[in-house]
Amino acid sequence: MINLEQVTKRYMNKIALQNINLELTKGKIIGLVGENGSGKSTTLKLIAGLIHPSKGTITVNGEAVDRRIASQVSYLSELDEYYGFYNVRQTINYFAEQFSDFNLQKADEIRAFMNLDPNAKLKQLSKGNRGRLKIVLTLAREVPIILMDEPLSGLDPMVRDSIVKGLISFIDLENQVVVITTHEIKEIETILDEVIAIKDGSIIGHHHVEQLRIEQNMGIVEWMTSMYENSR
């Protein structure tokens, strides 16, 4: 479904990603883990067509990625940049106008699941509720690829739990692939099918999470620690 071949990304003279090869198939939730600045967000932005590789090719369902890939990709950015004068319902409606694949009914189900008041003004939302709203907006699109950049970062445990449950409830695993970058590994470990560790712009490991436990008796945290130590 998603293919990266020999992908390198340079910013000026700094290398963000080097010779990345990656194949991701549908029906899975995939975690992208690594230290700050390791290249996680760059990888997501490349798949989303928001930036272009300096070298190599990226394809989604066999087609080369360019700006038009937005019709197949729902991308949750690390930033939140919404209109403060809108309320929750208006924001949802605004997104429905932007994306023809946006399912309003599903959006309302997720909003209710997340306990978000449709009439609350955005500028008055707590950080946690803004995080929940981002999940609503990202998951309500019926697209094959969902990319989430740090959906749990900076949120309290209750919000993180509701987001994890929201993911389990509303991702369509028959048809979608989800890629999540995160620091909060413990929270999300039990919902990942695969984990990819990135360090200094290179992939240092890629595993099925259950296989890791069967073969090496390790969870993701232990595995990551050992990968990082070995690559030193």
Cβ atoms within 10 Å of 200's Cβ, excluding its own: 15
Near other proteins in 187-206, by CB under 8 A: 190-193
Q: Which residue among 135, 164, 180, 198 contacts other proteins (CB under 8 A)?
A: 164
Is residue 27 at the binding interface for other proteins, with CB under 8 A as the rule? yes
What end-to-end distance do the CA atoms of the chain give, in Å?
32
Is residue 50 at the binding interface for other proteins, with CB under 8 A as the rule? no
Q: Closest distance between other proteins and the C-beta of residue 44, in Å?
A: 20
Is residue 96 at the binding interface for other proteins, with CB under 8 A as the rule? no
In this complex, which beta carbon is closest to other proteins, that of residue 46 or of residue 171?
171
Is residue 112 at the binding interface for other proteins, with CB under 8 A as the rule? no
Q: Closest distance between other proteins and the C-beta of residue 200, in Å?
A: 26
Using left for φ > 0, alpha for ψ between -120 and 50, and beta otherwise, residue 107 falls in alpha
In this complex, which beta carbon is closest to other proteins, that of residue 35 or of residue 189?
189
β-partners of residue 9 are 17
CA distances to 56, 189, 193, 222 from 210, rounded to whole Å, are: 31, 10, 7, 14
Q: Which residue among 52, 67, 123, 165 contacts other proteins (CB under 8 A)?
A: 165
Q: Which residue among 10, 28, 130, 206 contacts other proteins (CB under 8 A)?
A: 28
CA distances to 13, 106, 109, 167, 176 from 172, rounded to whole Å, are: 40, 12, 14, 9, 6
Binding residues for other proteins, how many (CB under 8 A)? Answer: 23
Stretch that binds other proteins, among 8-16, 102-110, 136-144, 209-217 (CB under 8 A): 209-217
Stretch that binds other proteins, among 22-30, 40-48, 76-84, 120-128 (CB under 8 A): 22-30
Among 105, 159, 156, smallest CA distance to 135 is for 159
Contact 71, 143 (CB under 8 A): yes
SS3 73: strand
In this complex, which beta carbon is closest to other proteins, that of residue 27 or of residue 144?
27
How far apart, in whole angstroms, are the C-alpha atoms of residue 112 and residue 226? 41
Q: Closest distance between other proteins and the C-beta of residue 55, in Å?
A: 34
Residues with Cβ < 8 Å from 100, sequence gap 6 or more?
A: none
Q: Which residues bind other proteins (CB under 8 A)?
A: 27-29, 161, 164-165, 168-169, 173, 190-193, 209-210, 213-214, 217-222
